[in-house]
Structure 1
Amino acid sequence: MGVTETAKSVTINHESGSSAEIYYYGAHVVSWKAGGKERLFMSGKSALDGSKAIRGGIPVVFPIFGPPPTSPPEYAALSQHGFARNQIWKLDKVIMDRPEGVSIRFLAPPPPDSFAHKYRLAYVITLSEHQLCTDVHIINEDDKEFIFQTLLHTYLAIPDYLKLKVSGIDKGTTYKDKVLDGKMVQSEGEDIVIDRPIDRVYHKVPSQEIHVDDGAGSGFKVRFRGFEDVTVWNPTEEVGKGIVDMEDKGWEKYICIEPGYVRDFKSLAPGEEFLGQQVLTVL
């Protein structure tokens, strides 16, 4: 057990042998090992030197999701997925280091000067034998309304995407199908399989729990609270081969299940707090 710091990252270890490594760059979880296996996918072509966002693991998306909106101006000027994943965070506190779990808190730096909003952004990572819990805390420290989007862009490692089955989306749940140019569709509640590019943003998922069957006798349960939406993404070869920092056939080795608040902007009144939680459990 324990917490180990290096110049680039923090590693937390549980007595069961599970571990997680978090880079200061983006507070990015780049590794989660449980049951003797790596549970997150990382592209072998990803930059890890801070020159660009990391491809794989668990990126923190904030204060926008996807391409920037047309307004307000300070949001329109942002790059894809905002700036949190490209900032240098700091380890703030070891919250817990006990047999039931190891928990640490990271704090984000202030925003760029061009983004004139006052907030506190913290990220708590908690590791136990079979679980990894990641909590995003946002407090509006301004005297006016603060709006944002946030999401955890989680890349779950799987042995073969063709054998994958994703379930837990309730019938009637509305989703935006980005493959179909943003067409709004109602889910029939069917299991999701990867037989073509999938890029769907499910809105306000009632179950707040997604199950991933990896087709090899294992998988994940993804539970979320505060986060109401979830993106399911795998580009397949059709799109994946055009991603410059994606390793060859990398898309065969992961499924992105991404809890967030992204269907609209979340609004916080002065002093109000948002908590978005993701709990990953190995099945």
Structure 2
Amino acid sequence: MTVSDSNGTVTLELPNGASAEIKHFGATVISWKSAETSASKDEIKERFFLSSKSALDGSKPIRGGIPIVFPFFGGATREEHKPFSSHGFARSEKWEYAGVVSESEENVSVRFVLEPSAGVAAKYDQPFLLEYIVTLSQYQLATELHVTNPATASSPLVHQALLHNYIAASPTSTITISPLTNLTYVDKANGGVEQVESRRLVDVKSHTDSVYKSAPGTYEVRWEGEGGGGLDIKTSGFPDVVVWNPHAEVGSKIGDLEEGGWEKYVCVEPGFVSSWNTLQPGEKWVGSQTLIPL
């Protein structure tokens, strides 16, 4: 097991070949390579999509991996969030690498911390403490976001949060996500209308941007490309899940998304985004996920 911190990137490596890379900028996991839990366990594959046009120099949020969304999802609707661009500031700030939490030959955990920078504090007067723990295991990856309100006075922290997973999967026409049947969802690709999901297997054959409420917390992502593939996502603390793929309709207008990039991934994003979480001074909320390739 090795952990290195060089040029703004923390790299984790295990003896079986599994690895992960996390940028200080945004605490964004940009790479996760792992074998499968069943079948060819010695075949190491990249599990995340990272756009070849994505900036990695800290000039803008990273397009791929797992960007962290905080303190709001989408465009700002609350007055205190309006100084910031879409999805808030956590993915656009440099996080402190706080070192190794635990390590063995089977897994390693590292921790990142974000507190208000001078730039954020000048626009946002609410104190906060974010801690992000990334755990690489032989056949899975776990990420855990802790949000604490460190205020000593009566100053509630009202926030949303989401882990924006870019799962490497293709072709897009074969991808399915389940179980989402009978859930109410906001169809942002069609004007934000609320609908009830009737499909047993949700697909992304066209522009998809759906926010599922009161979601089950465990999701199966499958695709039927060369050899097929799959990934299970198990979550805790996230009541919602977002399914997103822009297709050419929207993707061709995204400046840092490579041409045809939308055919190489699906975003399945656990979040607390259809409502607001309120933390009183001293309170903490934790949202976590475990990704397991099949």
Q: TM-score of the superposition, structure 2-length normalised?
A: 0.92
* 1:75 counterpart residue number: 81
What is the Cα-based RMSD across aligned positions, in Å?
1.1
Instruction: Return 208-217 or 23-32, whichever deviates more.
Output: 208-217
> Amino acid of the residue matched to residue 98 of structure 2?
D
Quote the Cα distance in structure 1 between the aligned partners of 2:99 and 2:4.
13
Tell me, yes or no, if structure 1 residue 192 matches structure 2 residue 192.
no
Quote the Cα distance in structure 1 between the aligned partners of 2:144 and 2:199.
28
| Deviation (angstroms), 1:189 | 4.5
Tell me, yes or no, if structure 1 residue 253 matches structure 2 residue 268.
no
Answer yes or no: is the 8 Å Cα contact 1:165–1:193 preserved in 2: yes
Answer yes or no: is the 8 Å Cα contact 1:219–1:282 preserved in 2: yes
> Amino acid of the residue matched to residue 136 of structure 1?
L
Quote the Cα distance in structure 1 between the aligned partners of 2:174 and 2:80.
43
Quote the Cα distance in structure 1 between the aligned partners of 2:236 and 2:223.
24
Runs ≥4 residues deviating over 4 A: none
Quote the Cα distance in structure 1 between the aligned partners of 2:143 and 2:63.
18
What residue ranges of structure 1 are gaps of 5+ in the alignment?
A: none
Quote the Cα distance in structure 2 between the aligned partners of 1:254 and 1:132.
18
> Amino acid of the residue matched to residue 213 of structure 1?
R
| Deviation (angstroms), 1:162 | 1.3
* 1:182 counterpart residue number: 192
Answer yes or no: is the 8 Å Cα contact 1:87–1:109 preserved in 2: no
Q: Where do residues 1-283 of structure 1 align in structure 2 (5 Å cutoff)?
A: 1-35=1-35, 36-69=44-77, 71=78, 73-111=79-117, 112-113=120-121, 114-142=123-151, 143=153, 144-169=155-180, 171-205=181-215, 207-215=216-224, 216-283=227-294
Quote the Cα distance in structure 2 between the aligned partners of 1:160 and 1:32.
20
| Deviation (angstroms), 1:151 | 0.3
Once the two structures are superposed, residues 176-233 of structure 1 have per-residue CA deviations (whole angstroms, 9 ceiling, x without a partner) of 000111100111252112221111000110x211101121332100111001100000
> Amino acid of the residue matched to residue 46 of structure 2?
E
Quote the Cα distance in structure 2 between the aligned partners of 1:109 and 1:273.
14
Q: TM-score of the superposition, structure 1-length normalised?
A: 0.96
Answer yes or no: is the 8 Å Cα contact 1:58–1:154 preserved in 2: yes
Aligned-pair identity (%): 41
Once the two structures are superposed, residues 28-72 of structure 1 have per-residue CA deviations (whole angstroms, 9 ceiling, x without a partner) of 100000121110000001111111111111000000100010x3x
What residue ranges of structure 2 are gaps of 5+ in the alignment?
A: 36-43
Quote the Cα distance in structure 2 between the aligned partners of 1:62 and 1:160.
30
Quote the Cα distance in structure 2 between the aligned partners of 1:152 and 1:85.
10
